[in-house]
Structure 1
Amino acid sequence: MPITVKRRTETINIVLDQEKAQELINLGHDLTNALNSRVKVEGGNPRARKLAQRIEALKEECAADTLTLELRALPFSKWKRVLEDNTPDPKKPLGRDMVGLASDAVAMMAVTAVVGGEPLPEQDLTNDALRKAFNEMTDGQLTIIVQAVMKLNGEAADPKAAFDLASKTLESSGN
């Protein structure tokens, strides 16, 4: 029986309108503060509720300006090639071309790519088209993409720690 590998996937959303993205971030901080407030009001927390409603409304407004990418991890050889192509000096991995890494990887990893509910055409998912788009992004936007790419391809997918913890838990509980 042949070995079948099922690579991990992850879906990420990048709000392309930075003004709205920053407003969402600010509202999120305000909501966190409101939820952590020690002031208790009968009937719940009306301030938190209003903030949550505003976030949901703004999320709807941002839908047309949101890039949604479903990414699937690359096989090792392809991932290694992406790293090598975008690391001019292997002794200085922090000098890596992050835009190049993101565009090369996403061009191969994208299972689906949608902006505002509309699928992106294939010509917008080439290395060159992605590089052009990613060059226009802020560090904060590009970081979301790079972190997803690195997580899917660079983190160990080894469940041993979870297996060990589950075994110890079950042994200690007598189950």
Structure 2
Amino acid sequence: MALNIKRPSRTVEIVTDLEALAESVNLANQINQLADSNGNDATEAEQAAARRERKDLQKQLQELVATVDESIVLVELKGLPSSKWNLIVINNTTVSKGATVKDYPGMLKDALPQMLVSARMKADDETSVSTRDITGLVDQLTDPQTMELMIAVQELNTPLSALPKAAREASRM
């Protein structure tokens, strides 16, 4: 019987239209503020006007959310064998003035092509995205996007290797 290691995998979302994302968050906040500020002391006319404004804002928000969804790339990644991941980390780590410096974008550029199972647009299952396009996105990512992707890559490449005692005990209850 051949034994194999089943490596962890994860699908990560990358939003490419950050402008629409920011606008949608701001619009959602406006809608929430309208709902909060429209108290019982408002007249019927004021309440009706607030409901109309909220409905208009919700329609705008629906359009923005659709725009954001159309810009999302779904990237399915699978963890690497230890030696490959360790080599990527070593190749992208330097020591400068006694401090260890890690090149996270460099790690992503090196790891993503090896970890990529598939990439496609969220809004259209038929539209696949190439490894080259995904690697090309790395230089365009914002710091929070880079760190979110890096956390996913690190977690996939440093999985648990044994069942924790607490999990085993909890299964017996």
**Could you list the runs of 5+ residues in structure 1 that have no partner in the other structure?**
38-45, 171-175
Alpha-carbon distance between aligned partners in 1 of 2:31 and 2:170, rounded to the nearest angstrom: 35
Aligned to 1:166: 171
Give the percent of matched residue pairs that are identical in Structure 1 and Structure 2: 27
TM-score computed with the length of structure 2 as normaliser: 0.70
Please report the RMSD computed on the Cα atoms of aligned residues, expressed in angstroms.
3.5
Q: CA offsets per residue over residues 96-123 of structure 1, 9 Å max, x none?
A: 0010111111111010112353211344
Q: CA offsets per residue over residues 153-174 of structure 1, 9 Å max, x none?
A: 124253323222222xx1xxxx
- For these two proteins, the number of residue pairs brought into alignment is 154
Contact 1:9–1:73 (Cα < 8 Å) also in 2: yes
Aligned to 2:10: 10
Look at both structures and tell me which one has the larger radius of gyration over its CA atoms: 2
- Select which of 67, 71, 82 maps to 1:76: 82
**Could you list the runs of 5+ residues in structure 2 that have no partner in the other structure?**
37-50
- Select which of 81, 86, 102 maps to 2:92: 86
- Select which of 50, 53, 61 maps to 2:67: 61
Q: Does 1:99 align with 2:105?
A: yes
- Select which of 142, 145, 149 maps to 2:146: 142
